[in-house]
Chain A
Amino acid sequence: MRREIISKLSKQIKELSDQLEREIRIMHLCGTHEDTISKYNLRDLMPENIRLISGPGCPVCIIPDTDLQKIFHLIERKSIILTTFGDMARVPFEEKSLQYYSSRGFDVRVVYSVFDAIEIARKSDKPVVHFGIGFETTMPSTASAIIDGVSNFYVYSAHRYFLPAMDFLLSLGEIRIDGFINPGHVSTIVGSNAYIPLFKKYGIPQVIAGFEPEDVLLAIKIMLRALIKDELGVFNEYRRVVRPEGNLKAKEAMKEVFGVDDWEWRGFGTVPESGAPIKKKYEDQDALKFFEDVFEDFIPKEDRRKRACRCGEVLRGLIMPNECKLFMKACNPKSPVGPCMVSFEGTCNVWAKYGRY
């Protein structure tokens, strides 16, 4: 039955694409969408004039090396337990990664959730620092953990708000995008209404989509139909999960704990209002504040090994992984150079996994 749905949708997309004579460039904004597209080979199902482009939807990938170096700087100088998610532990900087530190006897622990980190803190006398990464999907869990207020639990917030990056990407004007497939689980938190200002500013249609191949194909169909009828707007294919207002409680928790600042993204430079620092009210749990003295002599460096890495351009949708000369040569899943090859949501890693090159 699912096969029938997919073949019917492909047919509908083909019919709609015939009515659009130009090339339609659709950018998705979530590594999990890239996974669905590559796993089910949806690019091959697309008519010739429909291009699916991968965007900056990988929280591990967009964290700049500065944050990683600061974390290394901290664990080298303080006796702490560092907790983080698995993907982040494998991102290299000058041949080192959190996994490397772990192998050298530093206490680095990969956790499934921030609540596991809290349990570790409750059972230990040592300070536990959680390297908090992720977009709006993940921020509410970190906010809840901070509100819980366990005394030896700290967060290094590398959380970033996603919508400002969409705005920034469009403001750069370096890529033509006819439509966005919006990230389903960021949208679960922020709600479909959150994208309306962005639509009004740039007039680019957006479809919030779920993560099954049927969801992505339906989103593409909705997009093409909107383009043909010239009835553009923010559409929601993922109505079974995403509400117009999002998750109000989660948004409240986020707002309670996190402020707004202009932060750097890998490949983007500084993205206005995209950073989520911990508010002063909760500074007792802000690792950057509590260990302030440690960072006084911190100077970020450049990883020369990454000079040829084009992860930044992959994140901006300018190139596909196979246009990077390191891809599957010097850079591969066993020995990644940049985070786009490390993270399970990185486009390079996804392409390598499904052999799409």
Chain B
Amino acid sequence: MCLAIPGRVESIDFPFAIVSFGGARKRIRIDLVEDVKIGEYVLAHAGLAIQKLSEEEVMEIEKLWEEMMEE
């Protein structure tokens, strides 16, 4: 229910966008996150983008974990 997954914005027809989740495309509402652009990543839950993510936050999770492990 509270599952949310990251996807890449492919096209925008505000307030909706077509977001690709590893190839699976869905229509996601994006107006509750700031200023989303094509190519950026969002975290989507039940059809709504609830947070914007940087590419690093999506692609380099392992690096983030390793940094936190050393803290």
Contact = CB atoms under 8 A, between A and B. Distances in A.
Interface of A: 1-2, 5, 8-9, 12, 30-32, 57-60, 85, 87, 112-116, 133-135, 137-138, 140-141, 144, 183-186, 188-189, 211-212, 214-215, 218, 221, 237, 239-241, 243, 247, 249-250, 253, 343-345
A188 B51 contact: yes
A138 B34 CA distance: 18
A131 B54 CA distance: 34
Interface of B: 1-4, 16, 26-27, 29, 31-34, 43, 45-48, 50-51, 53, 57, 61-62, 64-66, 68-69
Given A58-B1, A144-B29, A114 B53 contact: no
Most-contacted residue by chain B among A141, A189, A215, A237 (CB, 10 A): A141
Given A247-B32, A247-B33, A249-B32, A141 B4 contact: no
A57 B1 CA distance: 10
A88 to B, nearest CB: 9
A2 B62 contact: yes
A256 to B, nearest CB: 12
B1 A141 contact: no
B47 A247 contact: no
B57 A32 contact: no
A8 B48 CA distance: 36
Contact of A8 (B4, B46, B57, B69): B69
B33 A249 contact: yes
Given A2-B62, A135-B2, A240-B64, A85 B32 contact: no
Contacts of B1: 31, 58-60, 85, 87, 133-134, 137-138, 343-345
A31 B16 CA distance: 28
Contact of A141 (B27, B33, B47): B47
B52 to A, nearest CB: 9
Contacts of B69: 5, 8-9, 12, 218, 221
B71 to A, nearest CB: 9
A241 B66 contact: no
Given A2-B62, A345-B1, A237 B29 contact: no
Contacts of B65: 5, 214-215, 218
B41 to A, nearest CB: 11
17 contacts: A5-B62, A12-B69, A58-B1, A85-B46, A114-B46, A133-B1, A135-B2, A144-B29, A144-B48, A185-B50, A188-B51, A214-B61, A218-B65, A218-B68, A237-B68, A344-B1, A345-B1
Nearest to A251: B32
Most-contacted residue by chain A among B2, B29, B68 (CB, 10 A): B2
A241 B53 contact: yes
B2 A5 contact: no
B53 A240 contact: yes
A212 B62 CA distance: 11
Given A134-B46, A247-B50, A345 B2 contact: yes
